[in-house]
Amino acid sequence: MNLIVAQDNLRWTQVFIGLPFSDKGRDWSGCDCWGFVRLVHVEHAGNDLPSYTGLGADERREIASIIAREAQSPHWLKVDATPAALDIIWFRRGRFDAHCGIYLRPGLMLHMAEHDCSKIERFDGGSPWASRVTGIYRWRGGG
């Protein structure tokens, strides 16, 4: 379900809602979840996140391996306290950390729904995402 964004500080998200899913996509014509996070960071905040170009939605084991490695790098800060807008939320899909979204505010994320489109959804409470959150990270740059 796509939530309607109130006229507040989330207005900037409107341009990113409804982009089509495209496995291994990294641009406005379509994205996978990482491609979407990367596109939002580049376009909205000027952060040039790593591309991980060769990976797509079906390579969950490889994605989980990259996430684990990158989480230990100085380019990322694990957020243990209060997340901020644009922090990246990682989710388990099956046995692996293989899905991500962008933290907007408590309980809301912007993400690419696999085989659908980009949208705002809840990731707390009764949401199917709530039990799958494995970590929230902030980009510190570099790389």
Enumerate the domain spans of the chain: 12-139
Distance CA 101, CA 87 (A): 8
Long-range contacts of residues 55-62, Cβ cutoff 8 Å, at least 24 apart: 55/24, 56/23, 56/24, 56/32, 57/23, 57/32, 57/33, 57/98, 57/114, 58/23, 60/93, 60/94, 60/95, 60/96, 60/98, 61/96
Q: What is the DSSP letter of 2?
A: P
- Structure-block tokens of residue 113: 């729904």
Which are the contacts of 122, defined by CB distance < 8 A and separation ≥ 6? 3, 107, 108, 109, 129
Confidence of residue 13 (pLDDT cuts 50, 70, 90): very high
5 confidence band (pLDDT: 50, 70, 90) = very low
pLDDT digits (tens, 9 = 90+) for 44-80: 999 888 777 665 555 656 666 766 666 777 778 889 8
Element (H, E) at 112: strand 108-112
Domain 12-139: CATH architecture, name and number where available: Alpha-Beta Complex (3.90)
Residue 62: predicted pLDDT? 67
